[in-house]
Amino acid sequence: MNVKPDIKAAATVPEGYVLEDQVGHLIRRAHQRHTALFLAMIGDSQVTTTQYAALVKLHEMGELSQNHLGRLTAMDPATIQGVIRRLTSRKLISHRPDKNDKRRRCLSLTPAGRELVAKLMANGPKVSKATLEPLSPEEQRQFLALLKRLT
């Protein structure tokens, strides 16, 4: 098993192009790390990052249509559909038809959903803190400012 660089193959690699240094690869790994921290620290072994986002936004906004919630949490209609289905089956979210628009489902938190989201949001800042922990406070501020402009 060859573990050293393949000289013949490497000869055609563009100068200085290292996979591990590419933004995309680094973002993907940072995302993996954050997801692992989230699942370990958020306080409910079933709730994922996207489910958390949906719950928090519903808590903040009160009542929303499905696609609107998707837009607010950066999920396309197919993705938010599955997230809502799973949260509904756990009885954390309920839905009723919209009075004025028969296409829409009005989503809202159930009492159980409100109770859970309050508990999870107590841990949310800890997850963010742990994710940024390798950086100093000043670096964290810089990093967040730059990251925000890449979205």
Provide the H-helix boundaries in 62-96: 66-72, 77-89
81-120: contacts with its own copies (CB under 8 A): 98, 100-101, 104, 106, 109, 114, 118
DSSP state of 111: H
Are 112 and 58 in contact, with CB atoms under 8 Å apart?
no
Are 42 and 52 in contact, with CB atoms under 8 Å apart?
yes
Choose the binding region for DNA from 82-90, 109-117, 129-137, 140-148 (rule: CB under 7 A): 82-90
Nearer to DNA, 36 or 144 (CB): 36
Looking from the CA of 128 toward its CB, the CA atoms found within 13 Å total 11
45-64: contacts with its own copies (CB under 8 A): 49, 53, 56-57, 59-64
Q: Three-state SS for 124?
A: helix
66 is an interface residue for its own copies by CB under 8 A? no
Residue 64 main-chain phi, psi, to 5 deg? -145, 155
11 is an interface residue for its own copies by CB under 8 A? no
Q: Which of 42, 55, 58, 84 binds DNA (CB under 7 A)?
A: 84
78 is an interface residue for its own copies by CB under 8 A? no
- x/- mask, DNA, residues 14-53, rule CB under 7 A, reads --------------x---x--xx---------x-xxxx--
